[in-house]
Structure 1
Amino acid sequence: MERDVVLSRFDAIESKVERLLAHCRALEEERESLKVELADTNARLEEMIHKDSERVQDEQAMQKKIDALLERLNAF
């Protein structure tokens, strides 16, 4: 009888360990998925930063041209 109780407890422990391991595997898969998502997000962010920098440079160039044209008009 005691043997059955001990075996039953081992079975319960084994079942809990299996559930714990399955949960750990699921969390590891989710972590890997989140790493990929983070890398994609960072790549998009870098692209947006680059495009914004280009936009600012374009605006500055246009402003210089406008200022130069206004100076020419004022000098006329």
Structure 2
Amino acid sequence: MKAFLQIALLFAMLTVVGWLIYLNQGSVSLVLTPPVGGVYYVTNPLPLGLFLVIAFLIGLLLGYLIRLLQDIFK
């Protein structure tokens, strides 16, 4: 039963991620540096939904690490 719930949760998460990417298909690029000699260094264009998912995962990771460090240094 536990494995079934884990698979169902994974399927639900993948569905939500796919839905976010599908709804936000506009391409965006991140500007990495100010103009250096008149040239901007940017990332390759990616769907906005993918940036949203990546930002969410980075936020989860940072929150987890901060909480872990708080517990270690108590």
Asked if TM exceeds 0.5, the reply is no
Judging by fraction of residues, say which structure has more helix. Answer: 1
Could you say which TM-score interval applies, normalised by the shorter chain? 0.3 to 0.5
Judging by fraction of residues, say which structure has more strand. Answer: 2
TM-score (norm 1): 0.38
For the pair shown, which has the larger CA radius of gyration, 1 or 2?
1
Higher relative contact order (CA 8 A, sep 6+): 2
